[in-house]
Amino acid sequence: MAHIACGIDIGGSGVKAALVDLDTGEYIGDQIRIPTPKPATPGAVARVCRELVDRLGVGADVPIGVTFPAPVFNGVIPFMANLDQSWVGTDVNALMSEHLGRGVVPLNDADAAGIAEVAYGAAKDAKGVVVFTTQGTGIGSAIIVDGRLMTNTELGHLELDGHDAEKRASSGQKTLQGLDWAQWAERLQRYYSHLEMLLSPDLFVVGGGVSENADKFMPLLELRTPMIPAKLLNTAGIVGAAYYAANHQD
């Protein structure tokens, strides 16, 4: 495994990239962030990725992982919840090769953050079934079993009480609907007990900015599965993308 890789994290408000030391899971130098272009079409976002790779001076032999806020199945995005709809059906391998002049390893953003937590963070070396969810505009998910990622789970889109779960229980909806911690926790209770019933996990890890306030909502939940906040927070997507790319180059 290479000891340095580059991670690029495509989000709704910013596209961020950094070089990562794979021994420690820490950045080498600074992260660079460019606001997500509007509209966030594939071509516009790929041009931003090119700029980030150029500015970081990523060497030709350094693997690059790129996260997308959507599943990436055989290199293609089958649906897109929270970014421009023109991504649907896009072959991201072809798109990135065209703009970067080299191959990248694409993956889902929550898969990247989840695997980073298992490789370097809150669930380091955890055995059994780890269910990672990341809270934000949507709810992203990753299932890691004995250190191996089951890619492209979309547990944020479970239907719960007739609603798309992330439209009820994401931290983005907490903000949008002005819910207090107790009101939001009621929705989380419903969501995480459902996940618990379906998956019988050994551990829940909750990421996203709101996990910094874990003490405000985790104690309100009654679950038999231990639940802990993520540790890497803002760096998780980039670190996980870099880690995954180094381990999944063809």
* Least Å from the CB of residue 240 to ligand BGC: 12
Residue with tokens 């381990």: 247
- Of 195-214, binders to ligand BGC (CB under 6 A) are none
Q: How many residues bind ligand BGC (CB under 6 A)?
A: 15
Binding to ligand BGC by residue 149, rule CB under 6 A? no
Q: Is 113 in the site for ligand BGC (CB under 6 A)?
A: no
**Of 31, 36, 90, 108, which one interacts with ligand BGC (CB under 6 A)?**
108
**Positive or negative: CA dihedral 198, 80, 20, 243:** positive
Q: State in angstroms the smallest separation of the CB of 179 from ligand BGC.
A: 19
Interatomic CA distance for residues 159 and 193, integer angstroms: 14
- Which of 41, 82, 193, 225 binds ligand BGC (CB under 6 A)? It is 82
Question: Does 117 contact ligand BGC by CB under 6 A?
Answer: no
Q: Smallest distance, Å, CB 235 to ligand BGC?
A: 16
Binding-site member from 7, 69, 106, 240 for ligand BGC (CB under 6 A): 69
248 alpha-carbon distance from chain centroid: 17
138 binds ligand BGC per the rule CB under 6 A: yes
* Nearest distance in Å: CB 153, ligand BGC: 9
The residues in 151-190 that bind ligand BGC, with binding defined as CB under 6 A, are 154, 156, 166
Residues 88 and 42: their CA atoms lie apart, in Å, by 10
With binding defined as CB under 6 A, does residue 109 bind ligand BGC?
yes
Decide if 199 contacts 127 (C-beta within 8 A). no
CB closer to ligand BGC out of 121 and 156: 156
Q: Is 115 an interacting residue with respect to ligand BGC (CB under 6 A)?
A: no
| Alpha carbon distances (Å) from 60 to 1, 54, 100, 157, 208 | 15, 11, 11, 38, 32
Q: Can you name the residues that pair with 1 across neighbouring β-strands?
A: none
Residue 208: Cβ-neighbour burial (10 angstroms; 0-12, 13-18, 19+): buried
**Residue 150, beta-bridge partner list:** 143
CA nearest 32: which of 64, 7, 5, 63? 7
Strand 64-68 with 159-160, pairing: unpaired
CB of 175 to ligand BGC, least distance (A): 15
Residue 81 touches ligand BGC, criterion: CB under 6 A: yes
* Contact flag: residue 71 with ligand BGC (CB under 6 A): yes
Q: Report if residue 96 touches ligand BGC, rule: CB under 6 A.
A: no
Alpha helices in 177-235 (DSSP H): 181-199, 214-217
